[in-house]
Amino acid sequence: MRTKKIAVIIGSLRKDSVNRKVAKALIALAPKSLELEIVEIGGLQMFNQDLEETPPTEWTAFRENVKGVDGVLFVTPEYNRSVPAALKNALDVGSRPYGASVWNGKPGAVVSASPGALAGFGANHHLRQSLVFLNVPVMAQPEAYIGNAYSLFDNNGQLINESVSDFLQNFMIAYSEWVGKFTAE
């Protein structure tokens, strides 16, 4: 069985964000059947249809990166009960030009993390709503909402909560199986 390449898209642009820490933990806990790589979105110019005639090089590079993967894992905070603007912009950039969306048919999963108890529930579901339109088959179960996330990591950014570690490892095993349903061996 070949290793599946997975793009990890982090909604937060902060270098030390809890969502980046969660993403790194997910990468470390993933089964060997997956090769995960963070694809940065902070340098993407805001989507503007007028720029499609000569797309910015950052758009072209981002599209090529995502086009070359077998699946996409989204890790996002919640901003005002929705996804961060940078993440929505990345979805828009990848969905164009019309008819050439890099998201089309790529199996996805969503993890939301927050310092609060609601664990990014609103952002998680708002993102899923957008992914349906983009034809990204999103893993339904297990769902992943990581609340009180700051307390889960040490000063070096290492996950220190064993039950959350076990949950995330099982989440990644389930995601590997999900990706396998949509990709060729």
Q: Give me the chain's average pLDDT, please.
A: 95
Alpha helix positions (H), the chain: 18-29, 57-67, 85-94, 121-133, 162-180
Residue 173, pLDDT above cutoff 90: yes
What is the tens place of the pLDDT at every residue in 108-150? 999 999 988 877 899 999 999 999 999 999 999 999 999 999 9
- Domains of the chain, each with CATH number or no CATH: 4-50+57-180 (3.40.50.360)
pTM, full prediction: 0.96
What is the tens place of the pLDDT at every residue in 10-39? 999 998 899 999 999 999 999 999 999 999
Residue 1, pLDDT above cutoff 80: no
CB atoms within 10 A of CB 129: 11
Task: Give the contacts of 3 (CB within 8 A, at least 6 positions apart).
Answer: 32, 33, 34, 35
d(CA 30, CA 85): 28
